[in-house]
A and B are shown apart, each in its own frame.
Chain A
Amino acid sequence: MKKKDDSMRLSIDAKNLGYRELNLKIRNFLNGSGRGNDIGYEGNGDNCSREVTIKNALGHRYIGDGLKGDALINVYGTPGNDLGAFMDGPTLEIFGNGQDGIGNTMNSGKIIVHGDVGDILGYSMRGGEIYIEKSIGFRGGIHMKSYREKVPVLVIGGSAGNFLGEYMAGGIIILLGLHKREKAALPFAGKTDIIGNYTGTGMHGGKIYVRGNIEDYKLGKEVRKSVAGKDDLDLLDRYVTAYCSLFNIDRKKIPVSSFLKLIPCSYRPYGKLYAY
């Protein structure tokens, strides 16, 4: 890799910018010029990716929306909803909490959040990886799906709210349960558990791994508990190790043997629904 020179880096103070201005600046820089009308970022041909650092993100929406290529975007502060929506390639690292709709319909790339995030994480995600240091809100990983070499992965360090993996059609969700939410902030009533109700409702593909056990009433009726096999342990080891190195956590704290595997009861849940 070539050494990054200054022309490959951009620092933006977002404090006084609207989201459109901010996102246009990012897009223009990644396109390598002021060609604001070019769609997406196709990569600039050399091996050195461009790097953007955004300071003072104050709920700016759609950062990384629809961007392609291999750029690196660092965000300090709190980015707004739909972070990395439709994204296809770049890596977003958030030093702060995220909001709703992160990685919506994302195709490839990586999102790392040093903190908590809100609802609908990774909705309909088709590829790429998302690492959340702490906890997520409701409806995480709904309708994730995989296709050929694309297998979307969500790694959640803390707890998850209701409807985790609802309608899930493919991909992998790993819930580490390292952080339980404070009771007042829980998206589900009751004990400070690491997972909410209706987990995997309507699930018909993919896998959910949860560290520890789940009470049966928290599962949707289309999902069942299973035991992690050798392949599962290898996979868990890979992603847990990646999580630990991203967030500086002692790898030994999270033995892969302690995971429960959730899989769909049927890959054709609606096969017998109709009278012809």
Chain B
Amino acid sequence: MALELKQSEFEIERDKNKCISCEVCVRQCSNDVHEYDSDQDTLYSDNSKCVGCRRCETLCPTGALKIRNREDQFKTNYNWTSSHLSNIYRQADSGGVLLTGMGSDRAHTVYWDHILFNAAQVTNPSIDPLREPMEIRTFIGRKPERLDFEINRNKDSKESLKDTNIKLKTKVPPQLDLSTPIMFSAMSYGSVSLNVCKSLAAAASEFGTYYNTGEGGLHKDLYGYAKNTIVQVASGRYGVDVDYLNKGAAVEIKIGQGAKPGIGGHLPGEKVTGDISNTRMIPEGTDAISPAPHHDIYSIEDLAQLIYALKEATNWLKPVGVKVSAVHNIAPIASGIVRAGADFVTIDGLRGGTGAAPQIIRDNVGIPIELAIASVDERLREEGIRYRSSIIAAGSIRSSADVIKAIALGADAVYIGTAALVAIGCHLCQKCYTGKCNWGIATQDPYLTKRLNPEIGTRKLLNLLRGWSLEIKEMLGGAGINAIESLKSNREHLRGINLNDRELAVLGIKHAGEAW
């Protein structure tokens, strides 16, 4: 019964004059869009199967292919948009939950784009980072409330300073040492291929920053990058044992994720194959189900218990943090997490990415990261506990400008996930959950995963980190600041544009044009 009009989202245009029937497009497409008819010596394309990843268009040697977004075929309706109609048709067919991948593509307000950064003019000089030292090194972890020094002064000496022996008496808790305030978000082996993990790990290691295992365990090929690994403990505890905990440089308890606050995760049994089964420590072919809550955490007190259980298990040598999604009451929640003993709090915003999430939750649950950082930083300062934890912001950091704005709003560092994947070839077709990623990223099919060479991936990620770090230094210098630490929560350097009073108040910034 054909009730629905099957809409293809894309239209494939093949220029017959340019096409040489080399069949590159046929081989590159895991969705079987292109087909070669040898009798006719012609290539056919099926629009309805196309996901818009642009792999064929990119690799076509003669430039014969063009993938175009298809014009809306339904009658124009601002309320009942074509995506609502298509979704209802899909659900009426299957009775299932709509699944999607990557961050929300809905037109939520992107506050980054309504915030402008400052520069110094006349009254204080700007600094040229190419000639002068510019410090963007960042430490993640609990800072001491105060510092005590032991000062031994040689009384007979005239040059008092030279003969004075100063030693730090305060024991500083374990810290992560980042050469740039950018880390790679949690992406599990299973959601992405091992080549992606290798690229992230090697780039983090070479650049002096960190990547995060996600809830996928730690593959043995990544042991060499242990010093730059943040290991995650999520509700399913997949791959978690005492060796895993001690391999990492820090431990992150995952409570929530921006793309799917409040719900768990399911890695379907088809994706739990040989190596993934070993790394997650579950039998092959079984569903890896992460419950929505940790069933040993029903309160802040229980969270404290797990934080300290992890500190004990790692002999108090590693920072232990907590990742939550940005939700309505994020400020008191973060305050509770800090009081529970977390050395860092990761906050993942509404637009954060994912390998698979129910579309309805991804697009409708949570709050934007910009507002969350501002309100959490404000609350922790009011309560006098900001020093106890570092704040890591995540959830669609798209450029170095987003990084610098996040830090000025009050974050210590950021996690990038989608941006890192884009750097190694992702074209945001949002079909990660199918496991058929033509760019070899969100797939385990060996025919596809070999398309991503981890050495090239590493180089691209290093380039991205280098470029963004240079830009951060440029912007800092331009504002007359020579250390990123001085920018943290320095909201005087931000101005809002096209924002209302409530938005400005929550962000804690003035409107553009308002001055001292």
Q: Which residues in A have some Cβ–Cβ distance to B below 8 Å?
A: 20, 23, 27, 36-40, 61-62, 65-68, 81-82, 85-88, 101, 104-105, 107, 120, 123-124, 126, 139, 142-143, 145-148, 150, 166-167, 169-170, 202, 204-205, 267-276
Contacts and interface: CB of A to CB of B under 8 A. Distances in A.
Interface stretch (B39-47, B188-196, B306-314): B306-314
Interface stretch (B93-101, B344-352, B363-371, B378-386): B93-101
A62 B308 contact: yes
Interface in B407-458: 433-434
B7 to A, nearest CB: 15
Contacts of B268: 268, 270-271
A124 B295 CA distance: 9
A39 B246 contact: yes
B91 A169 contact: no
A275 B359 CA distance: 10
Contacts of B287: 204, 267-271
5 contacts: A61-B305, A105-B241, A275-B90, A275-B93, A275-B96
A188 to B, nearest CB: 17
B309 A273 contact: no
Given A82-B305, A166-B295, A275-B90, A145 B242 contact: no
A143 B269 contact: no
Given A66-B242, A275-B90, A270 B289 contact: yes
Interface stretch (B113-121, B278-286, B486-494, B502-510): B278-286
Contacts of B94: 274-276
B309 A86 contact: yes
A61 B296 CA distance: 15
B96 A88 contact: no
A104 B296 contact: yes
A40 B242 contact: yes
Contact of B295 (A65, A68, A139): A139
A57 to B, nearest CB: 15
A33 to B, nearest CB: 15
A55 to B, nearest CB: 21
A82 B309 contact: yes
B171 to A, nearest CB: 13
A101 B307 CA distance: 13
Q: Which of B295, B310, B434 is most buried by chain A, counting CB atoms within 10 A of its CB?
A: B295
Contact of B241 (A36, A126, A167, A269): A126
B245 interface: yes
B237 interface: yes
Interface of B: 90-91, 93-99, 235-237, 240-243, 245-246, 266, 268-269, 281-283, 286-287, 289, 291, 295-296, 305-306, 308-310, 312-317, 433-434
Contacts of B91: 275
B253 to A, nearest CB: 12
Contacts of B291: 142-143, 167, 202
Nearest to B94: A275
B309 A65 contact: yes
The 3 closest A-B pairs by CB, nearest first: A66-B313, A275-B96, A124-B237
A169 B289 contact: yes
Nearest to A68: B242
B240 to A, nearest CB: 6
A166 B96 CA distance: 23
B99 A120 contact: no
B99 A276 contact: yes
B269 A268 contact: yes
Contacts of B97: 273-275
A198 B329 CA distance: 31
Contacts of B93: 275
A23 B316 CA distance: 12
Nearest to A276: B99
A143 B242 contact: no
Contacts of B98: 274-275
A20 B316 CA distance: 10
